[in-house]
Structure 1
């Protein structure tokens, strides 16, 4: 789990570094140079503008961000389902994984080799791929960061309002940051639903992220333009509904199967 987390953080860092090479204070246009701008950021910016022009209403750009966010989440839905299944499978084998770690607790090289071998055998026996949960995140990250760039660098958003806030300014009433943090926490909590206290203690990274992620996203939403906070809120609401509609039936099906085997 630690190696998996370090790999994920490393990849996120590389993506952030590469995406940061483009100046965030420069508007995105068809003439913007670079693969990142031409094939990731500009198409999303173009889509936001075209959807807003279709509505041709006072709240057009706000509606556009909501709709484009939902479209992106729908495109990424198969990957998210795969991630949910992988996370659930990894949680299920945590007790057995802990027994293997206790069995080979010594730090000498020979014992550690046996630990790795038996751990891999446990993964294969239960059909668990420890990297399967990372792949959806790795694929999603460039798209989500590109959408962040598209929102921040689309000049057409400037001056437009949606509900009670201006899209190019932070929410003056801090409602969006609170909603963002709240739905982020709810989504993380739902992801951990169905796990026991023992399983959670074996996965301290997930417990840490349960509290750390909402705080981080909420603080960012205080200072970033409301357009970006709106994207986070809509995306997190979608993820909450997705988790309720996909994970809960999976849990009920497993409970029914367990009851049938008694």
Structure 2
């Protein structure tokens, strides 16, 4: 057992427990133990448990992003203060003032990474669980030899769940190659759609005007293709887990955009307008919405050309 596997031992034990619990539940409901659908449903059950447990982290991520937006003006003041100063002392001072600002407002730029970081140990723990099962090696806890053999023989839509793209190519298992190809395309599409929804509807107008937004827009077309790596390296069962988790993220993000949009974003204006029409906004919220809409409309208007006669007349009326 390697160092990384040993480090993940407690998480592997929990992953085995949850996976086997769902497998036994569906078996008790009448599904065959070695059926591919039984194991796929068990994997989906694991997704539900994991993603439900990290909902508090997701909410923390949203609150942190809100606070980071509120810090925008103060952050720009600090950056302007040290603009052009490249010496070590100035750079250290800027970092200290920046971190002091984070502490003051109780936020952290790394908070947006918490949900992903929390899932990675579980993902790799599941990888080791499924790899051992694919090699017909019992697990460290609940994955007995019987269950290991059951997974080994599991076939979903004609494709063995234990196989990766490379193994299927060597074995001539076209069903696995086709199914993995479909999953990779769907994962790329779902990831792209999720990021596009965020950037087009849930980003404030101020952020859209920043250079960072333009950089993130480029990444929008690059990051989804990282899923090609998972499709080639990891077994079919693990790709099903990742794809299902992706779908959860997409649905969750749609709910967040609809119910908890970023202030100043298109989604926020739409939500405030709906609440205003229903009479559910306070006077202060109505005033803020009118202010934002007024600024947006003014910015979108083109200055009409004025003749010298009209300009003179206007000046005389003042």
TM bucket (normalised to shorter chain) is: 0.7 to 0.9
Larger radius of gyration: 2
CA spacing shift, 1:166–1:208, aligned 2, 3 Å: farther
The 3-state SS of whatever aligns with 1:82 is: helix
Partner of 2:128: 149
Q: What is the CA–CA distance in structure 2 between the aligned matches of 1:152 and 1:205, rounded to whole Å?
A: 38
Question: Residues of 1 paired with 2:239 and 2:57: CA distance?
Answer: 23
**Unaligned stretches of 5+ in structure 1?**
1-16, 23-33
- Structure 1 pair 231–126 and aligned structure 2 pair: CA distance change class (3 A): same
1:1-262 equivalences under 5 Å are: 19=4, 22=5, 34=6, 36-37=8-9, 39-56=10-27, 57=31, 58=35, 59-94=37-72, 96-105=74-83, 106-120=85-99, 122-123=101-102, 126-155=105-134, 156=148, 157-163=151-157, 165-169=159-163, 170=165, 171-173=176-178, 174-192=181-199, 193-195=201-203, 196-199=207-210, 201-202=211-212, 206-207=216-217, 209-251=219-261, 255=269, 256=272, 259-261=286-288, 262=291
Unaligned runs of 5+ in 2: 135-147, 166-175, 273-283, 292-318
Superposed CA RMSD in Å reads 3.0
Aligned 8 A contact 2:15 2:122 in 1: no
TM-aligned CA deviation for residue 108 of structure 1 = 1.9
Change (3 A) 1:258 1:119: farther
Give 1:92 deviation, angstroms.
Answer: 4.9
C-alpha distance in 1, partners of 2:119/2:162?
Answer: 25
Match of 1:29 in 2: none
How far apart are the structure 2 equivalents of 1:120 and 1:259?
35
Residues 162 and 236, structure 2, Cα contact 8 Å, conserved in 1: yes
Aligned length: 231
The alpha carbon displacement at 1:214 in A equals 1.5
Q: 8 Å contact 2:126–2:238 — kept in the other structure? A: no
